[in-house]
């Protein structure tokens, strides 16, 4: 059996120095111009020093017209690369790798961002009391689909030029590529809808285009739901088949997660009523996929103890991803690699409403990231309820900045 400190060799070449990854989180720290600034460089330098062999950035949008939050970074044709070069240098500063997660939100664009709201079909979000925040999306035309494939390839190539070691294509959590995979959202009757082969076509085209653009020596990962946790949605059998398809497109690694804004499995609240583990939420599903996967798998979701991380590796999963735990304590990987048993205690909230509880915990995590990004030491997260109020104020300021940039672009 592998151990956490064992290197991982992927098809693209350079080995990852250990089996611990910092998984993507929404850092919401874009500087004016939707660029990575000093805050992100400071944050990633701290994570690099923390010992993880791989850092995966929060999602970077491939199209400035469509962002999930006003604090999102954007990288497209014509974007200045110098800020991204500084970000990549910070992420590589301790000998590990840094991959850029690249994404299009599709229909998950709030109304107040006046963005381009696309989806495979005109199916509105069903997010309970938050549904009204999102417009009914426009079904994408063939030309818009082709344009999106090209945008993913352009962003990947520019990430490579900026010094990143790889990209991770985001096809999970209910964003655009995940929407095409979902039979609940994708109701098309053309070559992009119907069968799983058709629903996976956009993801496969994107992955193939990215691989062609960046060449063989650059890592290409894909983040995929192990299940959407919605009745009738994308499920584990679908994930098994899509992973096999991805192996033929030049992908190096698949990260498994689960859920979306409609089914908060990443917060432990699946909409279909399934019971998730209190830690390593998706391990049971991952164990079903390991046996048939032609690609190494990375598992993310609620992991905060070394013994659980090693349990994930013992199951046959190649890498373990930490997210919220590294917002609480960015030094955890190094401590675990040295044999320590330190653990991170995530923020807690007493909100009974699951959507509100998840938003409050995410706000508390975001405030902790903002603190780390200023160089301050870790501390016990503030009350999630207080953090949620603070985050609303911060978002309003970021929204004004984004709309000013978007209007001028």
Nearest CA to 226 out of 181, 160, 187 is that of 181
Alpha helices in 163-216 (DSSP H): 176-181, 196-199, 201-214
Say which range, 94-108, 137-151, 248-262, has the weakest mean pLDDT. 248-262
Task: Please give the distance of CA 112 from its chain centroid, rounded to a whole number.
Answer: 23
Alpha helices in 111-235 (DSSP H): 142-162, 176-181, 196-199, 201-214
**Would you call 310 exposed, middle or buried from its count of C-beta atoms within 10 A (0-12, 13-18, 19+)?**
middle
| Residue 66 reports pLDDT greater than 50 | yes
Largest CA distance in the chain: 55
Angle, vertex CA 71, rays to CA 70 and CA 76, nearest 5 = 85
Question: Where exactly are the structural domains of the chain?
Answer: 20-408
CB–CB of 258/274 below 8 Å? no
For residue 146, report the phi and psi dihedrals to the nearest 5 degrees: -60, -40
| Residue 276 reports pLDDT greater than 60 | no
> Predicted confidence band at 267 (pLDDT cuts at 50, 70, 90)?
very low
Residue 289, C-beta contacts closer than 8 angstroms, at least 6 positions apart: 226, 236, 239, 240, 243, 256, 297
- pLDDT attached to residue 259: 64
- pLDDT attached to residue 378: 74
222 or 231, greater pLDDT: 222
- Write the CATH number of the domain with boundaries 20-408: 3.20.20.70
Bridge-partner residues for 225, per DSSP? 257
For residue 105, report the phi and psi dihedrals to the nearest 5 degrees: -75, -15
Q: What is the pLDDT of residues 384-409, one digit of tens each?
A: 777 778 888 999 999 999 999 999 87
- pLDDT attached to residue 261: 67
Question: d(Cα 378, Cα 43) in Å, to the nearest integer?
Answer: 12
Q: What is the pLDDT of residues 5-55, one digit of tens each?
A: 999 999 887 799 999 999 999 999 999 999 999 999 999 999 999 999 999
- pLDDT attached to residue 272: 37
Say which range, 29-43, 207-221, 281-295, 349-363, has the weakest mean pLDDT. 349-363
Q: What is the mean pLDDT of residues 327-354?
A: 85
257 or 159, greater pLDDT: 159
pLDDT above 90 coverage of the chain, percent: 70
- pLDDT attached to residue 270: 41
- pLDDT attached to residue 98: 98
Say which range, 14-23, 155-164, 262-271, has the weakest mean pLDDT. 262-271
Q: What is the pLDDT of residues 230-243, one digit of tens each?
A: 666 788 899 999 99
Nearest CA to 96 out of 193, 19, 1 is that of 19
């Amino acid at each position: 059996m592998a151990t956490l400190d064992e290197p991982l060799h992927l098809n693209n070449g350079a080995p990852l120095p250990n089996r611990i990854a910092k998984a993507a989180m929404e850092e919401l720290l874009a500087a004016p111009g939707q660029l990575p600034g000093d805050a992100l460089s400071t944050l990633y330098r701290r994570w690099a020093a923390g010992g993880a062999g791989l850092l995966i950035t929060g999602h970077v949008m491939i199209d400035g017209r469509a962002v999930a939050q006003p604090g999102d970074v954007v990288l497209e044709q014509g974007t200045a690369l110098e800020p991204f070069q500084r970000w990549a240098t910070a992420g590589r500063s301790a000998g590990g790798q840094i991959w850029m997660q690249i994404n299009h939100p599709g229909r998950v664009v709030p109304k107040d961002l006046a963005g381009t709201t696309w989806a495979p079909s005109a199916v509105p979000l069903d997010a309970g009391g938050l549904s009204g925040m999102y417009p009914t999306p426009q079904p994408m035309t063939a030309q818009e689909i082709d344009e999106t494939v090209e945008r993913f390839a352009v962003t990947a190539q520019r990430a490579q030029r900026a010094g990143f070691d790889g990209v991770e294509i985001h096809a999970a959590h209910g964003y655009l590529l995940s929407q095409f995979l979902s039979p609940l959202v994708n109701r098309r009757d053309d070559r992009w809808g119907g069968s799983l082969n058709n629903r996976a076509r956009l993801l496969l085209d994107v992955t193939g285009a990215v691989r062609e653009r960046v060449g063989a020596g650059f890592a290409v990962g894909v983040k995929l739901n192990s299940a959407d946790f919605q009745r009738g949605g994308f499920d584990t059998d679908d994930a098994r088949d899509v992973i096999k398809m991805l192996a033929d497109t030049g992908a190096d690694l698949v990260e498994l997660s689960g859920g979306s804004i409609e089914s908060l499995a990443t917060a432990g609240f699946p909409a279909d009523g399934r019971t998730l583990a209190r830690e390593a939420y998706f391990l049971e599903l991952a164990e079903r996929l390991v046996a048939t996967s032609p690609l190494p798998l990375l598992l993310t979701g609620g992991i905060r103890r070394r013994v659980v991380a090693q349990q994930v590796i013992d199951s046959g999963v190649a890498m373990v991803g930490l997210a919220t735990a590294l917002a609480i304590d960015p030094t955890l990987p190094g401590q675990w690699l040295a044999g320590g048993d330190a653990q991170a205690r995530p923020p807690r909230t007493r909100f009974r409403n699951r959507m509100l509880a998840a938003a409050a915990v995410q706000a508390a995590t975001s405030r902790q990231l903002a603190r780390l990004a200023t160089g301050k030491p870790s501390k016990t997260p503030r009350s999630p309820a207080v953090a949620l109020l603070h985050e609303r104020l911060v978002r309003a300021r970021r929204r004004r900045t984004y709309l000013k940039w978007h209007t001028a672009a």
